[in-house]
Amino acid sequence: MNPTASPPLQIRDARAGDCDTIVAFNARLAEETEGKRLDLATLTRGVTLALTHENRLRYWVAELGSGGPIVGQAAVSLEWSDWRNGWLWWFQSVYVHPDFRSRGVFRALHQHIRDLARGSADVIGLRLYVETENQRAQSTYEALGMRPGGYHVYEELWLERFNAAPLDGHH
């Protein structure tokens, strides 16, 4: 990709034809931020499911011009807050191609998604998680007006259960 002569960014909903790019970006994201190599078959099933069932996870992409190459992505998953009677949109799978970092790609994705969230009467805010050591990302999020939420994320994962799960998510 040539970042020097770039047409304006277009932010749009991801579609099925973007699957390969999203899979590649997610694999790079895991490697760059956590040093993890993801199973590409599992990742492909997960992205395919998200692209066909937006109620689980919704992706947006940033492309150069209309129909140009994809240079960034972000996804949102939903969390219901009974304490606040509304939805929180959790950013995830945020990735910008290295040639286009610090050029406003995530800012454009964030603004687009933020505008959609603020336009939805039942959405009460945006959240994201970030690796503790990823100071560059933390600075970016703070520059956009986001603040640490005061929580640590704990998890218990059973990934081996889902490696062979059917594409529709039913067992």
For residue 96, the tally of other CB atoms under 10 A from its CB is 22
Give yes or no for residue 91 having a pLDDT over 90.
Answer: yes
The pLDDT value given to residue 55: 74
Q: Which of 91, 167, 155, 159 is nearest to 123 (CA)?
A: 91
Tokens representing 166 are: 């059917």
What percentage of residues in the chain have a pLDDT greater than 70?
89
55: left (phi over 0), alpha (psi -120 to 50) or beta: alpha
3-class DSSP state of 80: strand
Structural domain boundaries of the chain?
Answer: 9-161
For the stretch 148-160, pLDDT in tens is 998 888 889 887 7
Q: How far apart are CA 160 and CA 48, in angstroms?
A: 19
Is residue 92 a contact partner of residue 110, using CB atoms and an 8 Å limit? no
pLDDT band of residue 163 (cuts 50, 70, 90) is low
What are the backbone dihedrals phi and psi of residue 135, each rounded to the nearest 5 degrees, phi first? Answer: -65, -35
**d(Cα 55, Cα 101) in Å, to the nearest integer?**
29
Which token pair is 117?
A: 């969230």
pLDDT in tens, 45-84: 999 999 998 777 999 999 999 899 999 999 999 999 999 9
Q: Which CATH number fits domain 9-161: 3.40.630.30, 3.40.1190.10, 3.40.50.150, 2.30.130.10?
A: 3.40.630.30
